[in-house]
A and B are shown apart, each in its own frame.
Chain A
Amino acid sequence: MKRYFANTHFKRLMSSVAAMAILELMTGPPGSALDPTAGFTGSFGEASSFFGLFRTQRWVVFLFIAFIMFGLWTSWLTWGAQVKTATTKAMSVPRSVSHKQPVRWGVTLVLLVVALLLPHLITDPFWQAAMVEQIAVYVLLALGLNVVVGFAGLLDLGFVAFYAIGAYTTAWVTGALPTAAPFGIHFNNFYAIPIAIGLAMGAGIILGAPTLRLRGDYLAIVTLGFGEIITIFANNLYGITGGSQGTKTIPHFSLHVGPVKYLWGLTPVPYYYLTIVFVILFLIGFRLLEHSRVGRAWTAIREDEVAAESVGINPLKYKVMAFAIGASTAGFAGVVTASQSNTIFPSSFTLQFSINILVLVIFGGMGSITGVVLGAIVIQTGSMYLLHTPPAGYQPQDLYIYLGALLVVMMIFRPAGLVPSRRRHREIGLAEAGEGHMDEVLTGDTP
């Protein structure tokens, strides 16, 4: 017996089985006094089950998955190193932009056309709404957080605060809050955009200027606290924010310029186009920013803050800038959500929300614009799919189990994300080779 325990294959097999047993318990039906092992022995039981396989008891299925996991794990150990060196080699070759440029423009154009046609291809009302509320808005949020986490290397756990500021500003400006609208005028939602962006940015600067001097881990704590404070304010300042009931009377966007009149309404498609236009604007803006002087300063700070200072970069200034840009993006996303849903509740601005956006960024690839857009689309589409077409036994709260598992798997196989930024990929490669250091966001240690 002892010999078995010493065997690494056996250990791996047993860990796979144990991991799956835990997952099985977590996702299974709750046990009862009469049937304490229901989590294991319950069945997947739906008529739609696959060749009757899922009608069998849960433990059979999970044991099967455990064996597959063991197989994958073992083959990764055997061939993984080769795969990794091959990809690293491919990634570390400097990109020769020139002859690939037409291809990239072509791909961009195709994607643009697809994005514009999408509401006509997907006509299911659930998905049309999801495309706006759950995908496009989250792409925006992920893009904004990517500036903070990916470009500047700052861990912000209170991103939701700026989103809330944007949403509440919209309600305030349009006169939907108990407190009076500015100058007593009920502004059009479009006016909420610059005001929300300005206020979110201001909040970002006020919060950032004193705290961004702190080391990475302290910053995470302060932002975490700020996120909580904003939610508590929203909940408790009844006379100003409407308290826990929030508000339900935010108007829709409307356009009234000369003879042109348009009112965005309950149907999601017009909102889709409105949001997509802004997503594209933000995309272009961030792409330019990435390759600008500011973008280079962020990279330098992320790689070595002391060296950055000694070449004349003021780290505080550029960190506050990243923080403010991220904050204003979230503020803008808040305007869109508030206008589109007409309602806001303080209970939707939780820590979990901040973490969720962070997951999109990490999953997609910190610092890679393409990556975070794709990450947001993939994860949000996935979770919406699970919500819309839940597999047997799936509960909405199970989502985080799957997201967690997905992240763990990602960190093992693709630690730099789905579409890694070239630089980030090299950073992790070098850190693994014992040279340089990985980003503090990932490791928590500052040099």
Chain B
Amino acid sequence: MLEVHDAVVRYGAITALHGISFEVAQGEIVALLGANGAGKTTTLRMLSGLHSPQSGQIIFEGQDVTTTKAHQFTSLGIGHVPEGRRIFPQMTVEENLEMGAFGRRGSYSDDMERMYQTFPILKERRKLIGGNLSGGEQQMLAIGRALMGQPRLLLLDEPSMGLAPMIVETIFRIIGEIRDSGTTVLVVEQNAAQALRLADRGYVMENGRIVFGDSASNLLTDARVRAVYLGESADS
């Protein structure tokens, strides 16, 4: 579904991605792991057009999308839940979800109903403005907004960041449901243990390179991953 070949991204003089290659197949959940500053966010930003790669190639569903502009990615079928959620803080929950359907023609009220079923809390809060929601609710809203664009590939950047364990649990359950309903998911996580339990495969990034990738179950037992990313959670 998605192939990335030798992608290089620079921020001015800083090279954030030194030629990374990976792929995501239809129907998978793929986890992208790595420490702070490894280049995970940059990778997702590149995959939604917010940063074009200096060199390399991105192929989505057989189509070269390397130089496609950010605002065209929703209509291609790629949805992005950015780091820090970035909901529209002064729009209501309802308006936020409607914005998610901006690129679509025709009615989207069925999808709104579906979002409210997936996230009942958003239905309760639908007249409240986004900025007044709790972190978990904002994360759900950000995911809901991206889903309103009917993506076939959903990019999630640290959906568990700053959330209480119970809410993280809910979010991860919903990510599973999203995959089950047919949307492929590429998720960036620092919370490696939980991400790998959910994912089918994973890649590990370090300093702008993908150092290795494997099936999630292999990564969970991999000594290197356990040592560096799972730390104390490996014992539990």
Question: Does B associate with A?
Answer: yes
- A residues neighboring B (CB under 8 Å): 92, 94, 293, 296-297, 299-300, 303-304, 306-315, 423, 426-427, 430, 435-436
Residue of chain A at shortest CB distance from B126: A94
Cβ contact within 8 Å between B70 and A299: no
A436 and B48 CA atoms in complex are apart in Å by 23
Cβ contact within 8 Å between B90 and A312: no
Determine the interface band of chain B, counting residues with CB < 8 A from chain A: 20 to 34
- How many residue pairs between the two chains, A and B, have CB atoms under 8 Å in the bound complex? 83
Residues of B within 8 A of A311 (CB): 74, 99-100, 102-103, 145-146, 149
Q: Specify which of B71, B73, B75, B102 lies most central, judged by the most chain A CB atoms within 10 Å of its CB.
A: B71
Give the residue of B75, B86, B92 whose beta carbon is less than 8 angstroms from that of A304. B86
Residues of B within 8 A of A297 (CB): 102
Residues of A within 8 A of B131 (CB): 426, 430, 435-436
A436 and B86 CA atoms in complex are apart in Å by 9
- B residues neighboring A (CB under 8 Å): 48-50, 69-75, 79-80, 82, 86-92, 95, 98-100, 102-103, 127, 129, 131, 145-146, 149
Cβ contact within 8 Å between B102 and A303: no
14 contacts across the A-B interface (CB closer than 8 A): A296-B98, A299-B91, A303-B91, A306-B86, A307-B82, A307-B86, A309-B49, A310-B48, A310-B70, A310-B73, A311-B145, A312-B71, A423-B91, A427-B89
Residues of B within 8 A of A426 (CB): 90, 129, 131
Given contacts A303-B90, A436-B90, 12 further A-B contacts (CB under 8 A): A299-B91, A303-B91, A304-B87, A307-B86, A309-B71, A310-B48, A310-B74, A310-B146, A311-B99, A311-B146, A312-B73, A427-B90
A187 and B79 CA atoms in complex are apart in Å by 53
* Known contacts A310-B50, A312-B74, A427-B90; is-contact A300 B99 (Cβ 8 Å): yes
* Known contacts A296-B99, A300-B99, A435-B131; is-contact A310 B80 (Cβ 8 Å): yes
Looking at the assembled complex, report how far the CB atom of A6 sits from the nearest CB atom of chain B, in whole angstroms.
39
Residues of A within 8 A of B79 (CB): 310
A263 and B178 CA atoms in complex are apart in Å by 69
Cβ contact within 8 Å between B50 and A92: no
Q: Specify which of A92, A297, A312 lies most central, judged by the most chain B CB atoms within 10 Å of its CB.
A: A312
* Known contacts A92-B129, A306-B50; is-contact A313 B89 (Cβ 8 Å): no
A221 and B103 CA atoms in complex are apart in Å by 33
Give the residue of A313, A427, A430, A436 whose beta carbon is less than 8 angstroms from that of B102. A313
Cβ contact within 8 Å between B89 and A436: yes
Q: Specify which of B50, B75, B88, B100 lies most central, judged by the most chain A CB atoms within 10 Å of its CB.
A: B88
A311 and B71 CA atoms in complex are apart in Å by 7
A427 and B91 CA atoms in complex are apart in Å by 10
Looking at the assembled complex, report how far the CB atom of A90 sits from the nearest CB atom of chain B, in whole angstroms.
15
A300 and B96 CA atoms in complex are apart in Å by 9
Looking at the assembled complex, report how far the CB atom of A435 sits from the nearest CB atom of chain B, in whole angstroms.
5
Looking at the assembled complex, report how far the CB atom of A424 sits from the nearest CB atom of chain B, in whole angstroms.
8
Q: Specify which of A310, A315, A435 lies most central, judged by the most chain B CB atoms within 10 Å of its CB.
A: A310
Looking at the assembled complex, report how far the CB atom of A92 sits from the nearest CB atom of chain B, in whole angstroms.
7
Q: Specify which of A92, A307, A315, A423 lies most central, judged by the most chain B CB atoms within 10 Å of its CB.
A: A307
Give the residue of A293, A309, A427, A435 whose beta carbon is less than 8 angstroms from that of B70. A309
Residue of chain B at shortest CB distance from A436: B89
